[in-house]
Structure 1
Amino acid sequence: MDFSGKNILVVGASGVLGANFVEALSQAGANLYGTATSAESAQRIPASANLKLLLDLTSDESITTLANYLNAEVPLDGVILSAGVVGFGPATEASHDQVERMNRINYLGQVRLLNLLKDNLAGREQAFVLSVTGIVAQTPLPNMSHYSSSKAALHGFLTAVTREWRRDGVQVVSSVLGHTETGLASRPLFGTAPAFPAGLEPKAAAAELLATIN
């Protein structure tokens, strides 16, 4: 796809992979709107982003506020979901609050945001949603049960709406990308990460995923 002039929201633009999306799309001539959870983390969004926005995926008020702003001010051509948290360890060791927070960030909050932005996207030519869902959505792993299930839920939703939204001209891609060296595993919501083999390089991963949009 030619991204020149496209208005694209990158959810999780302060993360390593999200920042690489911003940089790559900026070089391609797109207008970038990047989100972060706090003013502090927003400093990690590349300066090439046209606008930095705050979004807390655990807060319905935050999600609604962002969606209302974008729907009123920005005709969106694309949404990239690159936000998430990870957790490790036996299923029984995570607390209910930890699991609930994970599901709000990885699944419920992202679905809520997409549903609110769908009509905005449907009004544009070649609109798209790209989600960095992860390989665990298709191949759940032991000691990553809650993370795997949150990603599987998101993948299931996106797979289902692929046909629904196609009728309105919105392409939906749920990428089951393998382990990528974003540093996310070193910042788990709970538990301790196992020793992973070397993963994909973030810049290359971002370029590969953007190439799936047509």
Structure 2
Amino acid sequence: MTNLEGAVVLVVGASGGLGLRIADRLESSGAVVARSSKSAGHDLREPTVIRGVLESTHAEHGRLDGLVIASGVVAFGPASGLEPATVDELFAVNTTSAIELITQSHPYLAASADDGRKPFVVTLSGVVAETPTAGVAAYSASKAGLAAFAAAAAREYRRDGIRIMDARPGHTGTSLSEHPIAGSAPSFPEPLDPDRVAERIVTAIVDGEKDLPSTAF
């Protein structure tokens, strides 16, 4: 079990449909939540910005016990029509910046573990990491890359008492698909309730779960 009472958790992408809901639920569970988002001026494609967000969170709260990476962008359309700039942005936001966040947060989370707490990282790669989908090939690849990194890093980080958990919900009813960086969203099946998805993720944090496949939602 992970006690969230008083835990300092940084939520990245905290203004998004899932990020906002997760942040609110963490606060309701007693956590002290630091919120980071592009709308707040945090362009996390820059490693120096990531470093600054982590340093300022630690400076304000004295420690870091958890990191939730809920930021992301999506693009639609056939693989044959992908523009290089679209691919670059998908991987910069969905993959590279998340990897940087995980690697740069390590010393803070390791210090939390040394103090007897149970620090964690949550990534949200989504069902496309399990089942790459036609029409979102590059998006699927960017999320699969994140899931692969999280799975491998989890085996390393647990030696330092840090848990990394990847969540892979199916299509969820947020506004992400309404604001793609390229293409137009196709017709989706009935989406998952974002409130239920957020609640499931926070429950998994508290219960010490190590993986949240699509079947968990």
**Superposition TM-score, scaled by structure 2 size:** 0.88
Partner of 1:129, secondary structure, is strand
Question: 2-side partners of 1:61 and 1:167: how far apart?
Answer: 27
Matches within 5 A, 1:176-195: 176-195=168-187
Runs of 4 or more, structure 1, over 6 Å off, are none
Do the aligned residues in 2 keep the contact of 1:10 with 1:80 (CA within 8 Å)?
yes
Matches within 5 A, 1:78-117: 78-117=66-105
The reply to whether residue 204 of structure 1 matches residue 205 of structure 2 is: no
Do the aligned residues in 1 keep the contact of 2:15 with 2:39 (CA within 8 Å)?
no
Going from structure 1 to structure 2, the CA distance change for 1:2 and 1:71 (only over 3 Å counts) comes to closer
The reply to whether residue 19 of structure 1 matches residue 20 of structure 2 is: yes
More helix by share: 2
Matches within 5 A, 1:1-214: 1-39=2-40, 54-74=41-61, 75-124=63-112, 125-213=117-205, 214=208
Q: Residue 70 of structure 1: CA displacement?
A: 3.1
Which residue of structure 2 lines up, in the alignment, with residue 49 of structure 1? none
Letter in 1 for 2:33: L
Equivalent pairs, count: 200
Do the aligned residues in 2 keep the contact of 1:71 with 1:117 (CA within 8 Å)?
no
**Superposition TM-score, scaled by structure 1 size:** 0.89
Do the aligned residues in 1 keep the contact of 2:154 with 2:163 (CA within 8 Å)?
yes
Partner of 2:160, secondary structure, is coil
Considering only aligned residues, what root-mean-square deviation do their CA atoms show, in Å? 1.3
Gap regions ≥5 residues in structure 2 = 209-217
The percentage of counterpart residues that share the same residue type is: 35
Do the aligned residues in 1 keep the contact of 2:10 with 2:57 (CA within 8 Å)?
no
Gap regions ≥5 residues in structure 1 = 40-53
Question: 2-side partners of 1:164 and 1:154: how far apart?
Answer: 15
Q: Residue 71 of structure 1: CA displacement?
A: 4.3
